[in-house]
Structure 1
Amino acid sequence: MKLVINIPCYNEEKTLSAVLAEIPKKIPGIKTIEVQIVDDGSTDRTSEIAASYGCKIISHKKNLGLGRAFKSGVEAALESGADIFVNTDADNQYPSSYIPDLIAPVMTSSVDIVIGNRVPWKVEHFSPLKKTLQWFGNLIVRNLIGTDIPDTVSGFRAYSRESLLRLNVTTKFSYVLDTIVQAVKMDLTVSSVPIRTNPPTRKSRLFKNIFQHMWKSGTSLVRLLIIYRPFQFFGVLAVTSFVPALAIAIRFLIFFFLGIGKGHVQSLLFAVVLVIISGLFLVSAILAFLVGNNRKLLEENLYHIKLMSWNHRLKKEKSLHKK
């Protein structure tokens, strides 16, 4: 069984050595451990340090974002024949000593994805605001996809080969929300194991401040709602437009039958506008639903293409071993 440990990097020369030094050299049940870094356009000694530890290096000519770095890592891992894929951060936030615990459920084929649960409300270096936002974000995601995973935005994860073939990263910002939502929708089994985190070594590079984090996370959640819950998202907007329109129309009719409706025509026109807006939201929901069905067909086709490529590579390797 082959394990590939993936580390997306962007100017991580100060912390990468600590991460690589802690990675287990041997794990019971794992025949081969391969460490690969995705150098996402670094301008420092990141690649040089990785090479000194014998890591496989995937390079981006410029900084493309965490989502693209993760995608490149997945593609390289599948190409190299990975059975299990672990993704961790280069800032040493996640102790690599937890990797055996993280992959154990995947090794037994009982789980497709295992998430390292940081237990955010107990992390000492998280501010009260960050803890609150983490809790609120986790609550929304859990309700969105119907799962009880306690830390949905943790980037310390183990994936089975089947899950790698199934998942498709479509964002540059961060893959964590996309992949967890896709996994649940595709009936992949997702679990978690408790971990502790190391003290922060630097500020996050995903966002400049908490408000940018809120904006990016919020837009990601809205996008996921539109993709995976179109009737819920557009339905709420349609109802919030239609209910006031109905109330305004009833008010106008009351005035009309009382013989004083002439001065309230403007309110009737406003009600008509709201009804039209409500109808547009409803049409948007139907269109998003149809697009979603088409997306499922495309995802299934893409999965079979990946699977065929994997099987072809496996047969080629077996034939080379026989020779």
Structure 2
Amino acid sequence: MKLIIQIPCLNEEKTLPITIKDIPRKIEGISKVEILIIDDGSSDRTIEVARKLGVDHIVRFPKNKGLAEAFKAGLDASLRLGADIIVNTDADNQYKGSDIPKLIKPILEKKYEMIIGDRKTDTIAHFSPIKKFFQRFGSKVVRTLSQTDVPDTTSGFRAYSRDAALRINVVSEFTYTLETIIQAGHKKISVGHVEIGTNAKLRESRLFKSIYGYMKRSAKTIIRIYTMYRPMKVFVTSGLILFFLGVGIGVRFLIYYLLGDGNGHIQSLILSAAMMIIGFQLGMLGLIADLISNNRKLVEETLYRVRKIELQQVSQLDEGLNQTVLASTKQIS
């Protein structure tokens, strides 16, 4: 059983040594633990520091692509390297590396395919009251939309089984945390959570400059991903609301018309007709979007099968090369 711990990095020469030092190299139930660094266009000595620390694998972007792309590249590289379980953690040492055995235990026991570390954000001292409120509110929204019970949906400390990682397709350019949970919920990937510890704050977050900016971009991501998997519900519900509001306004006009005061409310009739037409169009758009969504499911299932076959072939090729080298060594000896 092989575990790869992936760490997205952006100018982390100062914090990376602390993070890696905290990662256990021997875990019960795991035969091999490897560390993968995804350098997201760092301009400092992150790569040099990583090599000195004995990091097993490095994926490097010459230019910054963002956290979502780094996470996605890490998953792909980990799968190609033969990972049975993939753990994602941050390079700023926010999460306790000593909790990795606890994080992967439910996957080893085959209880879940994806585990999210619960930081218990209400107890984190350096989180402001407003940040704690939005953490609770945002997590509740994501839980509802994903039909999961994850209490800390923005936690980046998480573990994936090989099969779960194969099924995840990140399309967001901002962050992967919310999207992957909503995806997992709608793809019927079993998602669990465990309580984890956090370390003292070493630096400010580089993902967002303000809570407002983070909430704005997160809201866009949530709406986009949920609509992608439940277009009929989104568009038809919106269409019905508009349609019946239009009907209500039309009834209001009719009442005034029957009372002899219809001429003063012609604008209500126009608004009613417009809302009913737009509502009907949204409903039709929902039907079309649902067909596209079903096609997307087929494409994702095909992609999953192709990736699985591709990785099996890579594994067989590596095994064949190893056997050839071993045979050559024996002949020489």
- What range describes the TM-score normalised by the shorter chain of this pair? over 0.9
Tell me the distance in 2 between the aligned counterparts of 1:272 and 1:264: 13
1:177 Cα offset (Å): 1.2
TM-aligned CA deviation for residue 108 of structure 1: 2.3
Query: Which letter does structure 1 place at the counterpart of 2:113?
Result: D
Counterparts of 1:54-93 in structure 2, within 5 Å, are: 54-55=54-55, 56-93=57-94
Aligned to 1:210: 211
User: Which residue in the other structure is 1:171 paired with?
Assistant: 172
For normalisation by structure 1, the TM-score amounts to 0.96
* 1:20-35 matched pairs, under 5 angstroms: 20-35=20-35
TM-superposition CA deviations, 1:17-54 (whole Å, max 9, x none): 10011111211221211101000000011111111112
How many Å apart are 1:321 and its aligned residue? 4.1
Task: Report the secondary structure of 2:33's partner residue.
Answer: strand
> How do 1:117-266 and structure 2 match up within 5 A?
117-266=118-267
The residue type equivalent to 2:13 in the other structure is E
CA distance in structure 2 between the partners assigned to 1:21 and 1:260 by the alignment: 80
2:146–2:184 Cα contact (<8 Å) kept: no
Post-superposition CA distance 1:232-281 (Å, at most 9, x none): 32234223322331121111111222333223222101111111221222
What secondary structure does 1:94 align onto?
coil
1:7 alignment partner, SS class: strand
- Could you tell me which amino acid in structure 2 is paired with residue 109 of structure 1? K
In structure 1, C-alpha distance between the alignment counterparts of 2:204 and 2:157, rounded to whole Å = 18
Q: Secondary structure at the match of 1:24?
A: coil
Comparing 255-264 and 176-185, the one that deviates more: 255-264
Look up the equivalent residue of 1:279 and give its one-letter code. Answer: F
TM-superposition CA deviations, 1:189-226 (whole Å, max 9, x none) = 11111012112211111111111011111111111221
Instruction: State the one-letter code of the partner of 1:138.
Output: S
Q: CA deviation at 1:5?
A: 0.6
Deviation at 1:99, TM superposition (A): 0.7
Q: Secondary structure at the match of 1:28?
A: coil
CA distance in 2, matches of 1:315, 1:176: 33
Question: Gapped runs of 5+ residues in structure 1?
Answer: none
Q: Distance in 2 between matches of 1:283 and 1:12?
A: 50
TM-score, with length taken from structure 2: 0.93
CA distance, structure 1, for counterparts of residue 141 and residue 41 of structure 2: 33
More deviation, 223-232/286-295: 223-232
Q: Matched residues in 1 for 2:7 and 2:164: separation?
A: 18
d(CA) in 2 for partners of 1:194 and 1:65? 27
Secondary structure in 2 matching 1:296? helix
Q: Distance in 1 between matches of 2:152 and 2:23?
A: 23
Query: Residue type of the partner of 1:16?
Result: L
Which runs of no fewer than 5 residues in structure 2 stay unpaired?
A: 325-333
* 2:277 is aligned with 1:279: no
Which amino acid in structure 1 is aligned with residue 8 of structure 2?
P
In structure 2, what is the Cα distance between the partners aligned to 1:296 and 1:256?
50
Match of 2:2 in 1: 2
| Code of the aligned partner of 2:16 | L
Aligned residues: 323
Whole-angstrom distance in 2 between the partners of 1:194 and 1:302: 33
Provide the alpha-carbon RMSD of the alignment.
Answer: 1.4
Alignment match, 2:327:
none
- 1:37 correspondence with 2:37: yes
Q: Which moved more, 1:57-66 or 1:100-109?
A: 100-109
Identity of aligned pairs, percent? 46
Q: Which residue of 2 aligns with 1:269?
A: 270
Q: For 2:144, what is the secondary structure of its paired residue?
A: helix
CA deviation after TM superposition for structure 1 residue 304, in Å: 0.4
How far did 1:78 drift? Answer: 0.9
How far off its partner does 1:14 sit?
Answer: 1.5
- AA aligned to 1:81 is G
Q: Distance in 1 between matches of 2:60 and 2:165?
A: 20
Structure-2 separation of matches of 1:59 and 1:68: 11
1:121 deviates by: 1.6
- 1:228 alignment partner AA: Y
**Greater shift after overlay, 170-179 or 238-247?**
238-247
Does 2:103 correspond to 1:102? yes
- C-alpha distance in structure 2 between counterparts of 1:318 and 1:11, whole Å: 36
Q: Match of 1:79, as an amino acid?
A: R
SS in 1 for 2:21: helix
